[in-house]
Amino acid sequence: MITAKNASRRLAPLLALSILPALLWLVIANASAQSVAAPKAAQTVPPSGDYQRAVFVSWDGVRRDVLYDLLEVSDPLVPCWDNGDVFPVATGRVDAGGAPIFTCLPALAGAKPTDAPAGSPAYAPYQLFAAHTTNDGNTMTKPQHASMLTGQNTETHGLVGNRTKGQLAEGTTIFEYLMNTYDPVQPDGRRDGTIFRTHMSSDRKYVGRALYRWAKKSKALQRATGHGNGKGTLPGPLRHADKSFARWKAEEVELGLTETDFFMFLHFKTPDWSGHRNGADSRAYRRVITETDRKLYTLMDTLRTFGWGDAAILVTTDHGFNKVHHTRDAGRNVFNTWMGAYNVTLDLAQIPMRTTADYCESFSDPQDCLSNGPEEPMPPEDVVPNVFLTVVTPTLLDMFGIEWRGITPIEGESLYVP
């Protein structure tokens, strides 16, 4: 039996041998460092693309039709969910017939929440468009997050279910693409650490441990936290985000950095929890979506407070819902998802329309689906441009000005047009 103690005894001579060259190198490195005074203040090298800062939010399990229902409403006297105590607010816009548009989702719709402190601004509306979760029809949280953060389809990155272990190749996460470009590993094995900043708030099981491990091992992911709890004024991931922002800002001042460039991934998971527990037709589900929109507003407020109101925000969901499951009865796949963009304009002109053939492709017998039709009619909301979650990584890389075409296994298309 190999105990930890035994193992360490066996490894000790090996470790000593492997550490020796490193120790020698350190002595030499220190000697040379003394002769040439290294500047204390690191100089930042800003990304060469149009963007220096971006936050990507995955809003877990928010069905497109429910989101759109809440996004634009006509009657401010009808609560946002049955017997609810939150009412729509004015967007300041009118519909085609000239009637004012109200919303239950002020952050997405570009309005100020009713409970926002006096003097708070209303932010511009998000650009919203219909999307699909995946091309393989499996609507699970972990594979979809892996697709968002690598730009690869589930068949390629190998995470096909929430229980799939391992998978993902080294160097294929968005954290590694960004850091390897802007803050590459130095001969001493370290990165500068102040040129580009990265942060992720999501439990590892939702993004895949392999993704987390590669990103962390390579020091491409500087700070990783779980979701945190929902108590306090900055619930869940936002509290962690705020801590990172504060530290980055403090270091910007201390080190005299010219600017702070960053990528942050936040996972808002409560709608998924409510969807499973209460069903997508419940008032509880609508309530949680409404409440999570408020977090998005807080995020924009926080960014503005730190002087980074120019940060782009992408927000999407990993899957839809049917009652309390991700999928429809009889195994139908729920695509019914969406994507939003703030401070950046995305273009769908190059994206092909999704056809019945595309839809049937994910069925166990595509030919039967094509000749006899799917077991239930293809819902109108599923006939949308062919935007999959694999677009997230290439779009962000284009925004940051990083070349990825032909040199990465990225399969998604970029929606960014400079």
Q: How far apart, in Å, are the Cα atoms of 60 and each of 43, 289, 339, 355? A: 38, 10, 12, 26
Report the Cα 22 to chain-centroid distance in Å.
38
Least distance from Zn ion to the Cβ atom of residue 354, Å: 21
Count of residues that bind Zn ion according to CB under 5 A: 5
Among 141, 302, 343, 395, binds Zn ion (CB under 5 A): 141
Whichever of 62 and 397 has its CB closer to Zn ion, that residue is 62
Q: Which of 108, 59, 112, 64 is nearest to 237 (CA)?
A: 59
| Cβ contact 320:59 at 8 Å | no
Angle made by CA atoms 143, 146, 151, in degrees to the nearest 5: 120
Least distance from Zn ion to the Cβ atom of residue 40, Å: 45
Whichever of 134 and 290 has its CB closer to Zn ion, that residue is 134
Reading the block at residue 240, the tokens are 């962690």
Q: Which of 313, 310, 329, 311 is nearest to 376 (CA)?
A: 329
Whichever of 62 and 300 has its CB closer to Zn ion, that residue is 62
Reading the block at residue 129, the tokens are 């468009």
Whichever of 268 and 400 has its CB closer to Zn ion, that residue is 268
Whichever of 61 and 235 has its CB closer to Zn ion, that residue is 61
Considering the rule CB under 5 A, would residue 61 count as an interface residue with Zn ion? yes
Considering the rule CB under 5 A, would residue 318 count as an interface residue with Zn ion? yes
Rg (C-alpha) for the chain, rounded Å, is 24
Among 44, 52, 57, 60, binds Zn ion (CB under 5 A): 60
Q: Which single residue brings its beta carbon nearest to Zn ion?
A: 141
Least distance from Zn ion to the Cβ atom of residue 140, Å: 7
Least distance from Zn ion to the Cβ atom of residue 389, Å: 11
Whichever of 141 and 274 has its CB closer to Zn ion, that residue is 141
Considering the rule CB under 5 A, would residue 138 count as an interface residue with Zn ion? no
Which of positions 263-292 make contact with Zn ion (CB under 5 A)? 272
Least distance from Zn ion to the Cβ atom of residue 317, Å: 8
| Cβ neighbours for 6, distance < 8 A, ≥ 6 positions apart | none
Considering the rule CB under 5 A, would residue 143 count as an interface residue with Zn ion? no
Reading the block at residue 407, the tokens are 């040199």
Least distance from Zn ion to the Cβ atom of residue 327, Å: 12
Whichever of 60 and 413 has its CB closer to Zn ion, that residue is 60
| Cβ contact 49:307 at 8 Å | no
Q: Which of 174, 182, 221 is nearest to 48 (CA)?
A: 182
Please name the residue that has the structure tokens 């491409």.
220
Residues lying near Zn ion in the complex (CB under 5 A) are found at 60-61, 141, 272, 318
